[in-house]
Structures are given as C-alpha cells and as structure tokens.
Structure 1
C-alpha cells in the first residue's frame, strides 16, 4: 500500500502546466525548492522546551511542553541589536540576522559570537534583563581562533605560528618557527584524514594548550600554475604521493602560566599518524591514537600532560586491511575514569565503554546499526545517544543506550532519515525526518505515551511548479552473491514503457560516501532530476566500498580499488540492459573524483557498455595520489605493484572506446591535474581521441556559477552522443 501511495504522489506531480528545471536550478534549486522546515532548533537546558529561528532568521522562537509546543517569540534581532549597542560602543556591529551559532548556557542565558568592524566578540545575552555581557574580545583579523572554556584566553594562528591573546589584550607568542614547511596549530594535518578537524585543544582547567606541530619541509613540493597574471606564476603545495616521504607530526603542550612547552613522547617512527586527540577531564593526561603509516595497527596511548611522558598503551587495534580511527574519545559525565570509543573492529562502527586503564567494560553496539553521529549523554551520565544507520544503510534513526546494562532503544521508528535529539529530561524527542514520500516533517515525541505533536509538515515544494520525475529505490545483490546493495532510478517525465530511453549512470563508489538513502528525493541531486526531465533514465547504485554499511562492506576493496566496485555496478547495469525500455546502445556514465576514476575505468576495462562518459577530477593512477588516503586502501606502490598496475588507467589507454570527456580543476590540490594530463598523453600515443576541459581557477570541485557552466557542458555532451 505504501509503495502504491509513493508512486501516486510522485506521478501526480506531473500535472499539466508544470515545467522542468532550468540549468541554473541544477545548482540553485536545492535552496529555491527546499521543503519548509524549522531552523537551528536546540533544546534548552533543564526544561522541556526548545528554541529555533523563524524562516527570516530575524527572531528566536521558543516552544515548550506546557504550551503544547506552540511557538512564541523569545528574542528579536532588534532586541539583540539594541543590547549590543549599549554594551559595545567603540565598534560598529550590524546584525543582518539572528546569530545561528547561538548556544544555551542555561534557561536564562544564551551565548554566541558576533563580529564588528574591529573585533570578534563572544557574547552572553541575559533574556530576563535583555542585557549583553562581553565574554571575550579578539581582533577581527585573527584566524583560526580557539578560546578556552572561561573565555579569558584565545589561541589563534599568525601565519604558521600560534599566539594567545588574553582578556586584557596581552599577547603571548607560543611558537616562533620560521622554516618553510613547519606549521603549528593548523587543522590541516595528515591531509585531514582520521576525522581531524582542529589543530589546537584547551585543557579543562583552561591553562594548557595542546597543539599539532607539522613538519612537512621534507615533503616534495608540487607546483600549481597560476593564471591570474600576465606571466603565469607557480604556487607550490606540499603533496606527499603514495610511497614517497611523508610529513612528520608531533603534539606539544604550552603552559600559559609558566610559558613552558613540552612535547608528548609519541616516539618513532616519525612517519606515523597522531589521531583522536583527547584531553582527560582532569587536565592531567592526554590520550592519542598512534597509527602506523601502514594504517593497520593503532595504539591508544596515554601521556602525562605535565611532562609529556608516555604512561601506557590502553589497548591496540590491528587489522589485515586497515584501521581507521575517526572520532575522539567521549568521557562519561560524573565518571572521569570512563569513556566511549568508536570502532568498527567487530563489524560495524559502534560504541565501546572503556576505563582509563584500558579495560573494556562493555560493548554498546546494537545489531548491525552503524553509529553515524554521537550526540552525547544525559545529565546523569547513565545513557548515551546517537544517530545510527540501519535497514542496510538506507535509514537514520535516534538510539538511546544504557551504559550500565547496554540495553539499546530506538527512539524514532518511521521509515526514513531522521535528524533527532533528546531533551535534557529525556522525556521528549525533537524529530525531523523525511523519506521518499515525505518532504519534511518535524514533530515532538513524548516518550511516556509514545505520542507525537506535529510542529510542521511540509508539502511537496514542487507541486504546481516543477514536473518532478518518478523516483524508485531498488535493491540488488552484490557480485559475490552475499550482500544487499541500494540503488535509485529516476524515470523520464511522461515515462512510456513502450519506448526506449537513453541512460545516465551517476556514481561515486568510494569510501565515506553514500548516494542512496530513504530521504526526500531518495537523496538524488538536482542534476539527476534535470537529466531525467531531459529524457534520460538516471541510475545510481552504492557498491561495496561505500559508506554506512560496516567493516566487511568496505574492506573488500583493499589493494584493488575499483575492482569489486565495478563488479557491483555491473549488477545494476545488467539489470538496466534487461529492461525493454532501456536503450542499451545509448548509455552514459558520469562521476567525480573517485567517481571519475570509476567512469574512466569503465571506458577502458569494460569498454563495450557505455557510449559516452564524463570523468571529473579523476584519479587515473593511485601512485599519483596522496599517502594518507591512497596507502590506506592500496598500500604503497612497492608493497602492492600488482594492485597499482591493475587499477591504473595509464596502461589501458589503448583500450579506450566511446566518447570520454575529462574535466579537471587546474588548481586541484586533491587529485592533481597530472592524473588527467598523463592519461591524455597516453591516449595521444595510442591514437585514441579524448575530450578535455579545464576550469582554470577551481580546485577539486567546480563551485558557484561556474558549476552551472559545468552541468550544462555535461548535459550537452550526453545529448550529443546519446540522443538519436
């Protein structure tokens, strides 16, 4: 019944008078046609109430259980503007909208950051008094600022060095490195793999600053030509290619009271990865995941924060493929000697409760649910909450786990993708979700009676405006016959099964990405929708190696990237070819980055399937890719010569058939342009024609209005070769 309803809803959007997307809307459509929602919602501490911003971002609203979750205005932007003018008279501050980074301190106070012409300010706003207190002030020009909890000290980067400014404006110079290639305090360490998103951490006592020191002076410089002057110049980046010399990273601690710096004794070899860096709540210890360059052996080490001395290895994790730490430790409130650690070592990324001596207290995993977003603890520290992927990765739900018993409870149930959170009391769930037939629904669930109050139920934003293609989610079995695979099909408008249609396969296929989920539009992009409206069947499948399906689903690709992935894609492709309404003589394939690697691989290794392909920013040979990502999956070229040979496109240019368009950003620091240039040269030598287009000012992705140009080019390329 639900399936019939979905098909009815989607087909009914094809009503007379509706139009197709314009090419501009492939880029700007997601904002223009977003389903209605509530914005920046947050539970208020210690009360059963939550706040949100109105659709204009001008007012902060509040809803509470006592008033049946009806919205009322709490603060207006003008209230806040007036309070700021009274508190800060020496700087010009003009709010365009209410700050979306607001955080609740308690039921009466919120905190946020604003920026004036001269300074950045950390603000506390008292709701009862309508009064602003300035907690912290730093000059606007400071970059990568990181304030301690009491807001009396702020660390920031001055070039490649760290400085600290205190509440009185006094400056402390932390590092003074002048050697090109030595970088302090930056989050750009280990190429941002292993979940690294910051380079400095304050201790809980606000006195100690822990930071990365990266020495990449020995890493080969890679030239990126710059075209913005009459005579082109060169911008050099440090780019460690697989098998070559890598950066050397250490962790230091600066004591703001003594002015002394100590280095954590993380030991040898120097080419290792320092990950999941976490302060102990006592400020006496630091925990670091020390991962070897081969990425198959992790040690969780404990260090003395006063001396830097190694204390102990709490536990180790080893694998015949790879170990991939992604999340810092989460210490349990009220139990400073216990923390949660995330790992997929038992099959799925789940939570494990340890003590600070390294003893495993309890596994907290639930079925085959993959933890995708850990949300924290209740105030007593007895329960933890997380968003988890289930139903073969198609759905996202909120789960509660009891730390003492390990009992896990699903707090959301409707099929779909949920973004949900729990109130401080634990009695209510604020739940926002969508699925293939529901554009967006926001509700509050009362856990005591499992009753829900609807806050907002969005209608179909395309009704009466856009002729939305029919979308179906499908399931296949992987090439090894063991594993379910998720796929999505978009049908042309006014689809007629007695006709034949060209096909565009859109894919990615690599790790840490998932293209098909049970959410609004089936997670399809607007270019997919556009191409379906132009008369294409658009097909996408998440093969083994992609995200949110567990350890074994990903590890099958080890040392042979692209092989199992293509085998799975062929399952879906063969299904398409079996359909009477598919024009199997006019099929195209499009992907970017890893998807570009997959597209070009198909045009050489399985060269009798696709008549046309577009490969954006493609990896052509993994020996040109960077160490941190490349060696995880492929090992080094010296360790795995057969794998590198098998997966390279450079020795297969003579097998190229069909029409291949390669698109590359000339400033790409991720998949450097050398990949595509080398392949073009091999095509020339083999007498093979290949189309090539360069975006001179763009990096790995083509963004902004130029992205419209890119999509227009891709659409016209497929039209040229696939439409009769």
Structure 2
C-alpha cells in the first residue's frame, strides 16, 4: 500500500497547497526537503546496540536489542561541552554534537574540537563523564595523520612535515624551501589512482612513510586573481598531456633515529607511486609502481630500513589502462595475506594474495562490482563489502568467507543500500531507498531473519511540492549489446497529446553515474525544477561512465567522446520517437566532461540540439592534465589522430544552434584556456557564441552563487526553447 502511494506521489498531482520549486530551492532544496534519516549511525563495539544523532544534532541516541531498538538519549552536546571545557582548560562550546564521533570501545568515544590555536582529539568516558585529550596539533596544520596509539601526529605546515608528540615536542621532518618541492601532500599525482593521503604511520607508530613530490620542472599555469586593486597572478603547477610531469618519491622517516630512507623505486622519474601500504610487521612497505603510460603495474615490496626492493609480488598489464584505486587490506588473522582489488577479469573484485605474491583465490561473486569495503568479522574470517548489481543500478551488502570464497548477499530489496553488520555479526543495520522508496531503515537478526522496522520515511514533498513524474528508461548501446540506464522526468499535468521542449542533461565521463535506483532515481533538484517549468528532462549513462565494469569503460580508450556520443544518440532517438517531444526545441546541458559532450554535440551533430549550455568544458584534451588525460587518450605524441578527432577547436565552424559556455575564472581542473580557445575559434569562423565567467570560482560554482548559475541556465533555455 505504501509503495502504491509513493508511486502516485511520484506522478504529477497538483493537490491543494502544492507548488513548484523556486530557483533558490534548486540549491537549498536537498537540505530543506531532506527525507527523514538517522545521522552518523555507528555500531557500538561488543554490544548489540547502535547509536546515531537525533534530528536536531543535539543528542547522541542509542538503540539496543534488549529495548527492541527504541531510541534513548545517552549524551548531549551540552554535557559534552562541560567535559570539554575542563579537558582543554578554556571556554568551549559545541553548537551540535560532533559528527565525527567514533566509538573506541563500548563505553568510550572520541571526537575532535578546534580552537583558533589548536585542533584537539579527545576521548570521552560515559562512565566517568570525563573527557581527556588524546592528541593536539596546531590549528594551522593541514592533513593531520595520527599514529595508531595517538602518541604522535604528523601534519603539514606549508609544503613541509612536522611531528608533535604527546608532550608537545615538535620535530621538523622536512625543511624544503624550493618552490615546487612538496612533502606529505595528498594532492600527489593530482589525487588520481585512489590517492587520498600523503603520509602513513607504521604499525609500530615509530616510522612515517610520506610522499616527496618534485614539481619544480612542471610548467607554471597562471590563474588571474581579480579581487586585488591591480589583478595578480596565482601560479599552479599544471602538467598538460604530453608535457613534463612531476617526479615523486617515497620516504620513510624513523622517529627514533631521525633517519630518512628513500625507497629505491627505480624506473623512469615520471612513473606513478600508489597503493602505499605498511606490512603488519612494520618492516616492509608495499607500493604499486605504475608507468606513465598507465598500462603496466608492478606491486613491489621494499625494506623500510634500507629502502631496497625486496621483490615484485606480481604485475598487471592491459592494452588500455590499469587503474589501481585501493591500498592493500591485510587479513587480521595472518600477517602474510592481503586483499587486492582489481578489475583485471572484468569487474572490480577482491583477490586474496600472500606476501610471496601467490594468488590464493578470487573472492569475487559473478559480475558484482566491489564499490567499498566494510569490516572484517570478529574472528577475521569474513569481510563485508558494498557491491553494485543490476547493471549498475543497485547497491547491496555482501559478505565473503576469505578461506572458502563463499559469498552471501545480506540485503535483498532492489535499491541502494547502506548497510552494516554489528561487531559480532548477529545483526544487520539496513538503510535503503529506491525509485519507489524514500528511505527505509530496519534491523534484521541474521540467524532468525527477524526484521524490525525502525523508519519508513514519508515523502518529504507531500503537500508542499508538485513533484514531477519520474520513469526509468532502458536502452541498448550503439553496438547493440549493452543495456544502458536512463530516466525521463515529465512536466506537471503532462498531456501526451501535446509537445514539450526537452532538456537533455548528461555527463558521460568516467567515475560518475547519474542514474541509480534510489529516491528520485538520482535526479537533481535542477532537473526537477526544469521539468516543472514545462520541459521533458532526460538523462542516460553511456558506456565509459561508472559502475558497469572494465569493458564498459575501456571502449573509450584513445577516442574520448566517440562511443559516448554514439550511445547518447540512442537516447536522442528514443526521445524523437515520442510524439510528445518537440524535436525542434531540444536543449542539452552538461558540466566538465558533460561540457565536453555538450559542445561536441553542438558542433559535431549540429542539427539535433537547438540550444546548449556547456559548463567548464574540455575543448581539446591536449590542454588537460597528464594523469587523467593520458590514461584515456595516451599522450598527444602517441595518439595524434585521437587528439585531432576529439578536439573541438577545428569544428567550431559547424556550430548552428545557440551555445552558452560558462567557466570559473579560477578553474584549476579544466583551465579557462579551453573555453577561451574555443571562443576565439568561433570568432574566426564567424560563429556567435555566448560566454559567462564566474570570476571567483574554480571548477564548480558553489554556495549562493550556484543559485545565480542555475537561474542563468534556466533563463537561457527559456529564451531559446520556449515558444
């Protein structure tokens, strides 16, 4: 009954008091109309209980099996504030309960607090109601990495590393003053290859592994700063495809001897170093060595004390690219076995190796893609993970037995699940949504399969917003083999005998997916707003996008945009087959890779779209950076034909429709040179094109200015597409 009601609500039903979104709500709406949920849910160690924050973020609530999972306040922000004041010895105020709270054990939790001078990590004991300082670092310190026992913390001051111990003693680890030498930064290799940190503490808490990046030889790229009386230039190091790239090494700093040892990662200086993982013994470091061509990976073991290569455990090669994204995960029951993730057999899955480099077994299940790892079971024999199924639409929780390889799917309803097991594996916390389900939360006892419903969120738009009707669309790729996922959103009071203009919203690039089986089917509030303004809004994920496996992605190699456009033409043909679509008044909009796709359609298929808006568009891949660009296109020297065919500069003379390009003047990702070169090409070709610049924004227009952005885009389509 509930799902039938929600399906009705997903359709257009202009009930009394309902209205359309305002342009402000395209940005503010996700918070204003957020579905009811439990915030910051965590299982309590060694207990059949979990905690979450209340709806006002003021209290920590516990739900216990013995109390039939009913909520009970156990600690408030005010109580924690009083303990905090005593611990740090000065005035303090928590406006909300700390969202970064973490259970240390069943009675103790940790949280952070920052003043103007210091960043504190504290621990609170529920029994004594007292807080104590675990660690503290200067507030100005960045990228803080704490040792496992909290006895030390490493952080960055500028481009150098400092370490502070429990007594407050500070050690300067690096002292580089050369512009372009950067230590310990997570912004190494531009955060590709799964890199999200630049320093790693050893298991014994005595050694710090860190990146040392030398980008002094990389070209400076100027970003004009308009806020000064006389505009100034901020230079960034930006290695364009085919040009000189950064040189990176890995260094081990021993806090006892204060000795530094550089790992002997022999090979070309412009190779990539990733998958950095300490051996549980603290004697070895594992590093993935990926060549600049990104088609040959070696997993190497190095001696931490001498930096010498011990051995290469295994190698992985591809005719397209190898993309390591996940550090090794050692099995807790043994020091000589680890989990490695790769899509070498078609789908990103788990593989169990030993430290001799022998593959013990594949732990994958059919075509399930491992999206994220969960926790090991209490005995260390199993591990859970979130897996992608149903042609990329669904997310489920799985658990695999490491020694047998047997896999169990723990969630069942079709949709997007965020689920986790209790520490003893007795209970499953399951939160999920789908196109027909706003947000459901339940607890299931694994052995009996007994389910306790905790929350069935109501439609947050009911009685407030006239929500447009959303439908799933299933198509086949241009090669006739691969299912593609799409969605269509209809205007309110849709009449199939009438014709409507179209907004075709797309992205199309790697590591992104716009259509998922979750509430609103992944649609954004701007999509819903434009449907309410009288547009049929359509979106589809083409080959090359995320969550569909290796072959779905690799088809784009050396020719970005070709297969993607061919697939999107399938979506366009679907729309043009509908009598309610005004095919002469179709608009296309995308940002970044979507901006590249939008501009590509406007100049390579100029008779399809009447109007386009391209935000932060890639225009020519030779202007894009090395790590991303060369993975998909190889270098301009290796693939001149591919770069020439995908460049839009020599195709500007084919532009027919109305095109507005929007760019952030401070964009360090797709630099403004892309759009400026295209504008100049349009001028030379005698083609009119509209251009709008956001002077203070980078790759995305954020904050209040995003409302201005969406209003500009909506007005542009209204001006050209509305009859």
Please tell me the TM-score bracket, short chain as reference: over 0.9
1:439-479: CA deviations, max 9, x gaps? 11111111112121111111000000000000001110000
Residue 18 of structure 1 aligns with which residue?
18
Per-residue deviation, 1:140: 2.0
1:147-206: CA deviations, max 9, x gaps? 111111111111111111111111111011111000000101001101111000100100
- How is 1:522-541 mapped onto 2 (pairs within 5 angstroms)? 522-541=521-540
Residue 207 of structure 2 aligns with which residue?
208
Residue 388 of structure 1 aligns with which residue?
387
Residue 94 of structure 1 aligns with which residue?
93
Residue 309 of structure 1 aligns with which residue?
308
Per-residue deviation, 1:135: 1.2
Residue 241 of structure 1 aligns with which residue?
240
1:222-246: CA deviations, max 9, x gaps? 0111111121111110000000000
Distance 1:20 1:116 in 2: 43
Per-residue deviation, 1:4: 6.9
Per-residue deviation, 1:3: 9.3
Q: Runs of 5+ in structure 1 lacking a partner? A: none
Residue 348 of structure 1 aligns with which residue?
347
SS class of match (1:721): helix
SS class of match (1:515): coil
Per-residue deviation, 1:668: 0.2
Residue 336 of structure 1 aligns with which residue?
335
1:364-403: CA deviations, max 9, x gaps? 1111111111112112110010001100000000000011
SS class of match (1:156): strand
Contact 1:93 1:117 in 2 (8 A): no
Residue 446 of structure 1 aligns with which residue?
445
Contact 1:92 1:117 in 2 (8 A): no
Greater Cα shift, 147-156 or 28-37: 147-156
Contact 1:13 1:462 in 2 (8 A): no
Contact 1:666 1:696 in 2 (8 A): yes
Distance 1:360 1:583 in 2: 57
Distance 1:350 1:266 in 2: 27
Residue 127 of structure 1 aligns with which residue?
126
SS class of match (1:50): strand
1:508 and 2:512 correspond:
no
Distance 2:88 2:626 in 1: 49
SS class of match (2:19): coil
Instruction: Name the CA shift for 1:3/1:486 in 2 (closer, same or farther; >3 Å).
Output: farther
Residue 654 of structure 2 aligns with which residue?
655
- How is 1:45-56 mapped onto 2 (pairs within 5 angstroms)? 45-56=45-56
Contact 2:140 2:157 in 1 (8 A): no
Distance 1:101 1:192 in 2: 23
Per-residue deviation, 1:139: 2.5
Distance 1:14 1:559 in 2: 49
- How is 1:628-643 mapped onto 2 (pairs within 5 angstroms)? 628-643=627-642
Distance 1:6 1:153 in 2: 52
Residue 224 of structure 2 aligns with which residue?
225
Instruction: Name the CA shift for 1:13/1:43 in 2 (closer, same or farther; >3 Å).
Output: farther
1:45-84: CA deviations, max 9, x gaps? 1111101110111111111111111111111112211212
Calculate the TM-score normalised by the size of structure 1. Answer: 0.99
Residue 83 of structure 2 aligns with which residue?
83
Contact 1:9 1:437 in 2 (8 A): no
Residue 73 of structure 2 aligns with which residue?
73
Residue 556 of structure 1 aligns with which residue?
555
1:620 and 2:589 correspond:
no
Distance 1:6 1:439 in 2: 8
SS class of match (1:336): coil
Distance 2:130 2:6 in 1: 51
- How is 1:391-410 mapped onto 2 (pairs within 5 angstroms)? 391-410=390-409
Contact 1:366 1:408 in 2 (8 A): yes
Distance 1:17 1:168 in 2: 62
Per-residue deviation, 1:657: 1.1
Greater Cα shift, 366-375 or 130-139: 130-139
Q: Runs of 5+ in structure 2 lacking a partner? A: none
1:395-438: CA deviations, max 9, x gaps? 00000001111111110000110011111111111111101111
- How is 1:598-609 mapped onto 2 (pairs within 5 angstroms)? 598-609=597-608
SS class of match (2:437): coil
SS class of match (1:651): helix
1:276-324: CA deviations, max 9, x gaps? 1111111111000100000000000000011111000100000000000
SS class of match (1:335): coil
Distance 2:457 2:434 in 1: 12
- How is 1:371-382 mapped onto 2 (pairs within 5 angstroms)? 371-382=370-381
Residue 194 of structure 2 aligns with which residue?
195
Instruction: Name the CA shift for 1:12/1:663 in 2 (closer, same or farther; >3 Å).
Output: closer
- How is 1:411-422 mapped onto 2 (pairs within 5 angstroms)? 411-422=410-421
Aligned length: 723
Contact 2:296 2:322 in 1 (8 A): yes
Residue 584 of structure 1 aligns with which residue?
583
Per-residue deviation, 1:103: 1.0
1:29 and 2:29 correspond:
yes
Calculate the TM-score normalised by the size of structure 2. Answer: 0.99
SS class of match (1:439): strand
1:9 and 2:9 correspond:
yes
Distance 1:293 1:682 in 2: 32
1:332-353: CA deviations, max 9, x gaps? 1121111100000000000001
Residue 261 of structure 1 aligns with which residue?
260
SS class of match (1:585): strand
Instruction: Name the CA shift for 1:5/1:556 in 2 (closer, same or farther; >3 Å).
Output: farther
1:601-651: CA deviations, max 9, x gaps? 000111100000000000000000000000000000111011001100001
Residue 39 of structure 2 aligns with which residue?
39
Distance 1:624 1:602 in 2: 20
- How is 1:677-692 mapped onto 2 (pairs within 5 angstroms)? 677-692=676-691
Per-residue deviation, 1:86: 2.4
Distance 2:719 2:115 in 1: 52
1:639-666: CA deviations, max 9, x gaps? 1011001100001011111000000000
Contact 1:665 1:698 in 2 (8 A): yes
Distance 1:136 1:637 in 2: 49
Greater Cα shift, 367-376 or 342-351: 367-376
Distance 1:522 1:489 in 2: 10
Distance 2:707 2:218 in 1: 36
Contact 1:193 1:628 in 2 (8 A): yes
Residue 468 of structure 1 aligns with which residue?
467
Instruction: Name the CA shift for 1:134/1:6 in 2 (closer, same or farther; >3 Å).
Output: closer
Contact 1:332 1:381 in 2 (8 A): yes
Distance 2:82 2:2 in 1: 52
SS class of match (1:176): coil
Distance 1:169 1:503 in 2: 62
Per-residue deviation, 1:578: 0.6
Residue 104 of structure 1 aligns with which residue?
103
Distance 1:47 1:7 in 2: 39
Per-residue deviation, 1:117: 3.9
Greater Cα shift, 22-31 or 437-446: 437-446
Distance 1:118 1:667 in 2: 30
Distance 2:436 2:625 in 1: 41
